[in-house]
Structure 1
């Protein structure tokens, strides 16, 4: 599924400095829409493994700051919004793969749904396998069906929510502050899961902006 739109040249973040504090409230939104659709369309059109690898590497490098500046405030009614959430999930793993693997392992045991199957987790769960999983999910957005990739990402986020809740329950009696942080993290993962589910539905019915 593609959308008719103008395809601007993707520019360095410095070219977008004027957006920050702009009097035009729609400027940032328009740039986010145009850049996200242009990126998706061009990566798919080229179908070059090296290009796909570079797009994925953004999540673990400084390029994530450019994407955050452009896309992080977009809703799940937009392609930019759902792609940002997928990049965010991968970025969290890049920052703390061991912690993410622990939450995922806990969540897989606790959740009691088919989400581990949908996410496609490899056993045993390790920092390396969780990074591979998140790469595969993000790659699917650019080389496969975006709806399926969003389904996988939503399942992953639900598992992480369950894992964070499980760890929060374990820590609460010993460290109320840390337990509270983990509970908040569980709620955020659950929220991302719902947002990605909604994005998948909009992709399939053609209403993703």
Structure 2
């Protein structure tokens, strides 16, 4: 049996990993999600283009926001991308079943008076009124302070969570978590610390 001298194996260079297929680099995905969120929120506010709010709303309906939302889905709640994910999920839920959203909001509004007022939903809160409210929140990304957008969405989610609890639904705590995340992010935004 011949003895070969021990040597350290060669390490592949960066080009080795660049050629691997299947899967994405999580750091690059997170960077792309953060960059897109920053452009949407900060870029919309900095723009002098009066039609940007309308384009943001259309983006949610027709121009592939689902792809961006998929990127944002893994983002922490205390980031712009995480906030946009939660706003997207709320809007998608309201549009998927506006009647259910209206019933849950109605069930919660008597017990969550302050949140009901902050949410700004028309009275009575029917399906059309809720769709209009979530669209107005989305337009607000370009037209208002982002902290206000987050606080309105948080208030809406809080009323819905209260309604779900009133109706004895198991997912009330989940919606309450969304409300708390959005509210916490709004306070970070007010302090200039939301990125």
TM-score for both structures, normalised by structure 2:
0.82
Shift, 1:20, TM fit: 7.3
Alignment partners' CA distance in 1, 2:93 and 2:62: 12
Alignment partners' CA distance in 2, 1:203 and 1:32: 18
Match of 1:183 in 2: 170
> Contact 2:44–2:141 (CA<8 Å) still a contact in 1?
no
User: Counterparts of 1:97-176 in structure 2 under 5 Å?
Assistant: 97-111=98-112, 113-168=113-168
Alignment partners' CA distance in 1, 2:35 and 2:69: 15
TM-score for both structures, normalised by structure 1:
0.77
> Contact 2:69–2:84 (CA<8 Å) still a contact in 1?
no
Shift, 1:47, TM fit: 4.5
> Contact 1:60–1:91 (CA<8 Å) still a contact in 2?
no
Alignment partners' CA distance in 1, 2:27 and 2:146: 26
Deviations 1:164-207 (A, max 9, x none): 11122xxxxxxxxxxxxx312x1111000010011111111122
Q: Does 1:40 align with 2:26?
A: no
Match of 1:193 in 2: 179
Unaligned runs of 5+ residues in structure 2 are 1-19
Deviations 1:96-152 (A, max 9, x none): 1111111111110233x4111111121111111111111122222221011111111
Alignment partners' CA distance in 2, 1:147 and 1:104: 22
Shift, 1:61, TM fit: 4.3
Shift, 1:57, TM fit: 3.1
Q: Does 1:81 align with 2:68?
A: no
Alignment partners' CA distance in 1, 2:115 and 2:175: 14
The size of the alignment, in residue pairs, is 176
Unaligned runs of 5+ residues in structure 1 are 1-17, 169-181
Alignment partners' CA distance in 2, 1:38 and 1:103: 33
Q: Which has the higher helix share?
A: 1
Match of 1:92 in 2: 93
Superposition RMSD in Å: 2.1
Match of 2:16 in 1: none
